[in-house]
Amino acid sequence: MEVLLWFLWLCSAPVLSSETEEDLWYESRPRTWHKARDFCRRHNADLITLQSQADLGPVEITSFQAWLGLRSTSSGWRWTDGLQERDAGDVFAKGQPHSGQECGKMVHSETKAYADACHQKHFFFCEDSTGLPHFELEAKPWAEAMEHCRSLSLRFMTFHSETFDVESAVWVWKTFPVWIGLHHDGAAWSWSDGAQSDHRTWTGSAPGAGPVPASGSGSCAAVRSNNKYYMWRHSCSEAFPFVCRRSKTRVLLVQELLSWEQGLEVCRNMSSVGNFSLLSVEESDLQNILKHTTGATSSKVLPLLSVSHMFLLSLTHVPPQSHTCSSSVSHMFLLSLTCSPSVWLGLRFLAGSWFWSDGSVVSLPSLDPCPEARLRCGALVLNTSSIEPADCSQELNVLCHRR
């Protein structure tokens, strides 16, 4: 039976440490929307979800890479516009080119060329007979980029080596799409990480109006490198730069009813998604969470952990004797995601003392220093926000955290 793991990305107060800022980074190498999402997830992140216009504020998204008419040949690196060739001279940045990289590109704001594998997809520059550059937004491998220039009665852009540094400044600033995590799944627009955000700033006619977009045709959303506010609809198969987001403090809710030992095993076996253990948390952290999280939408829902991003994973290492609960996932609060009144923490009473399973020091003055023999594991009681001893064989949901 599979374990359903909801990634709870904490959006306010610290739980494990004082460092709860999110990693937000920009990838300038173009990828299709799905490959961009896969790239982010391989790095324990996801395409960015926008809760407001300010979310993209901290990240610079104007950098790009673009092919030039620069290619390695048997006689060395040469400028080639598809018709003529000439020696490239000393145009590469320090440490370039690398072995196996036989095509040349420019990198935004750099005044020297870089090499890359020719099969990689990049934007590219063509030029007309007067030398006027044409920036092409359709990312292609180097050879296809050259052919595309020819199909437009243009030529691949080249430079005289002695003027490359100077002329490059003419075209370093360009506008292009940047993928975000919003896509149409065939039924509605949703965010890649499962977050509940109704932030939409469509330009022109709203994508929700008229026919539902066909799969791969205008079904994915992007902002612009020079305009982070408005969203545009694009085919998911187009390749653009993108923005990933990863929380530095991450908690996982395991929606299985497990004993304490089973929960510890499941957390520690999550090597495919990170280095996890049962959650260690101090009372001061709980109070800080309660103080900073948003209010609940229902009196029956405890605003313990406010969730801004979550997505579902499946694992296969669940103990066979465990069983799954049925719980609503329509709310953004921990209590609505659980089916047990308490959840296991990494707290265990051994040899006369309480210990956290990850080895950290326990500082819980309210915890019974000498619990009953059958109550030797620690659980978080959700409706009172208290940490109390519990029977280790009791089956509860489990909170894991990245160590």
pLDDT digits (tens, 9 = 90+) for 316-366: 233 334 444 433 332 233 445 667 888 899 999 998 899 888 777 788 888
5 in a domain, yes or no? no
Smallest CA-to-CA distance from 71 within 58, 84, 61, 60 is with 84
Residues 146, 294 within the same domain = no
Q: How far apart are CA 74 and CA 236, in angstroms?
A: 38
Averaged over 161-189, what is the pLDDT? Answer: 78
- pLDDT, tens only, 12-48: 222 222 233 467 899 999 999 999 999 998 887 889 9
Q: Same domain for 216 and 285?
A: no
322 and 280: one domain? yes
The answer to whether residue 7 is domain-embedded is no
Mean pLDDT, all residues of the chain:
76
Q: What's the domain range around 155?
A: 65-171
As a whole number of angstroms, the distance between CA 221 and CA 207 comes to 10
Contact between 133 and 148 under an 8 Å Cβ cutoff? The reply is no
Per DSSP, the residues of 165-212 read HHHHGGGS----EEEEEEEE-SSSEEETT--------BSSS-TTSSSP
Please name which of 62, 81, 91, 80 lies closest in space to residue 165, comparing C-alpha atoms.
91
**Sorting pLDDT into bands at 50, 70 and 90, what band is 217?**
low
The answer as to whether 14 is a domain residue is no
Gap between the Cα atoms of 403 and 400, Å rounded? 9
Residue 374 lies in a domain: yes
Q: Residue 357's pLDDT is what?
A: 86
**Is 306 a domain residue?**
yes
How high is the pLDDT of residue 298? 24
Average pLDDT for 362-378: 89
Of 209-218, 225-234, 319-328, the range with the lowest mean pLDDT is 319-328
| 218 and 359 housed in the same domain | no
Is 12 among the domain residues? no
For residues 113 and 201, state if they share a domain: no
Residues 275 and 223 occupy one common structural domain: no
Same domain, 39 and 184: yes
Q: Is residue 144's pLDDT more than 60?
A: yes
Closest CA to 367 of 357, 379, 358: 379
One domain for residues 256 and 398:
yes
Picking from 171, 203, 223, the residue at the C-terminal end of a domain is: 171
268 and 390 in a single domain? The answer is yes
State residue 167's pLDDT score.
63
Domain boundary among 138, 171, 204: 171
**Residue 148 identity:** H
- Please report, rounded to a whole number, the percentage of residues in the chain having pLDDT higher than 70: 70
pLDDT band at 308 (very low <50, low <70, confident <90, very high): very low
pLDDT on residue 171: 62
In this structure, the answer to whether residues 51 and 76 fall within a common structural domain is no
Burial letters for 45-76: b for 16+ Cβ neighbours within 10 Å, e otherwise?
bbbbbbbeeebbeeeebbebbbbbbbbbeeee
Cα 47 to Cα 38: distance, rounded to the nearest angstrom: 9
Q: Could you give the angle at the alpha carbon of 93 between the alpha carbons of 92 and 99, nearest 5°?
A: 70
Residue 181 lies in a domain: yes
Indicate whether 205 and 347 sit together in one domain.
Answer: no
Query: Which DSSP category does 99 fall into?
Result: T
- Is position 16 within any domain? no
Q: Tally the domains of the chain.
A: 3
Which of 217, 247, 277 is the last residue in one of the domains? Answer: 247
What tens digit of pLDDT does each residue of 66-87 get?
Answer: 999 999 999 899 999 877 788 8
Q: What is the pLDDT of residue 399?
A: 84
Of 121-135, 150-164, 325-339, the range with the lowest mean pLDDT is 325-339
- Residues 272, 42: Cα–Cα separation, whole Å: 10
Residues 58, 86 within the same domain:
no
- Region of poorest pLDDT, from 72-86, 91-105, 296-310: 296-310
What CATH code is carried by the domain that includes residue 243? 3.10.100.10
| pLDDT of 169 higher than 60 | no
